[in-house]
A and B are shown apart, each in its own frame.
Chain A
Amino acid sequence: MTPRTGTTAQGDESFRRGRLAKATEFLDAADTLRELGGESGVLTSTSPFANAFVVQCVLSGIAAADAICVARTGRYSRTGAHDEAVPVLRAPAGQAVAKHLEVLLAVKNKAEYNAKSVSDTDIVRAGAAAEALESAARSD
């Protein structure tokens, strides 16, 4: 799918670096929450900070996606809306990378706004997706 015009904004090298630094910072924060709330470093849905961990993963993934998009096209998605942000990343980076953002955006609302907590699977998948996106942004 071609990204719709008007949903992207321009970014330069300094923007890319700033977003990458934030992707790393949010991932560090997620790690800290995992260490604080987890049993032997493993978070579950009933652990303290389970939802906060996933939110940090989502923030990290969105920041990393921006860094990847700007490195390749000079533009990034202006919104975190699934139908807009994922195609903007998929076009230059491919489905394998975009899939990680899909995973994170799928759990975003659940972690941020729902009354129900994220599941064990959400926690594992969000952590892996955020790490993969941050790593891809560093390697780009």
Chain B
Amino acid sequence: MQLQRPFASVTTAVDGDVLMVLSRAAGPMTIADISRLVPDRSYAGVRNSADRLTEQGIVNGFRTGRTKAFALNPDHLAAGAVRALADMRRELLERLTVGCDGLPLRYAAVFGSGARGEMRPDSDLDLCFVVIAGRRPEAEDAVHALCERAQGWTGNVVRPVVFDESEIDAADPLLASVARDGVPIAGDGRWLSRKLRTLAG
């Protein structure tokens, strides 16, 4: 899956993108509003999709003067499923966070394309784990088991990078990228940035 495009797991049609936008919106959105959030789709494609989804009842259309706006129909039988699809990124982060509970971790984060919102369907999911000093042997099996589960949840190859706390090197470009882009799933989310800054003096 692509974390930034969760509907692509079930459909690559523009309808998925439109539903994604409307399910997260604060209120009705015009076609122009929706189009801005799905820049790789044409204006006409978005308009046709919104009309199609309105016909199916999952989207409500509102007309104010000459402007038409659209919103997810919260009462539709499929609304819950649509929201669940839209929230898959958050759901994955929650599952990873729960999976890290109880492990001897100082810090863990999703990094790379998954964190930056640039995943392709075949992208790896990169996870960085920093284990509390001296406890790496007991953490490793659990980390790898969590990664196997995450592979099942997403369909992506999950690549863990495991550091002992004592191995953190301020000059390591991978750790710099984790600190910059990483989405924390364990420990104090600011720990790595602070550690790298302290080590760099």
Q: Which residues of A contact B (CB under 8 A)?
A: 2-3, 10, 12-13, 24, 27-28, 31-32, 35, 72-75, 91-92, 131, 135, 138-139
Q: Is the CB of B189 within 8 A of A135?
A: yes
Instruction: Give the residue of B24, B27, B90, B193 whose beta carbon is less than 8 angstroms from that of A139.
Output: B90
A53 to B36, CA, bound (A): 35
Residue of B nearest to A88 (CB): B26
Q: Is the CB of A28 within 8 A of B36?
A: no
Q: Is the CB of A73 within 8 A of B193?
A: no
Interface of A is mostly: helix
B106 to A: closest C-beta gap in Å: 16
Set of chain B residues within 8 Å of A135, measured between Cβ atoms: 184, 189
B141 to A: closest C-beta gap in Å: 27
Counting contact residues on chain B (CB < 8 A from A), the size range is 20 to 34
Q: Which of A13, A32, A131, A139 has the most CB of B within 10 A?
A: A139
Q: With A2-B27, A73-B24, A74-B33 given, can you name 9 additional A-B contacts, CB distance below 8 Å?
A: A10-B36, A13-B117, A31-B190, A73-B26, A91-B27, A131-B190, A138-B183, A138-B184, A139-B183
A135 to B189, CA, bound (A): 7
A73 to B34, CA, bound (A): 8
Q: Is the CB of A72 within 8 A of B26?
A: yes
A64 to B25, CA, bound (A): 18
Instruction: Give the residue of A10, A24, A27 whose beta carbon is less than 8 angstroms from that of B180.
Output: A24
Set of chain A residues within 8 Å of B37, measured between Cβ atoms: 73-74
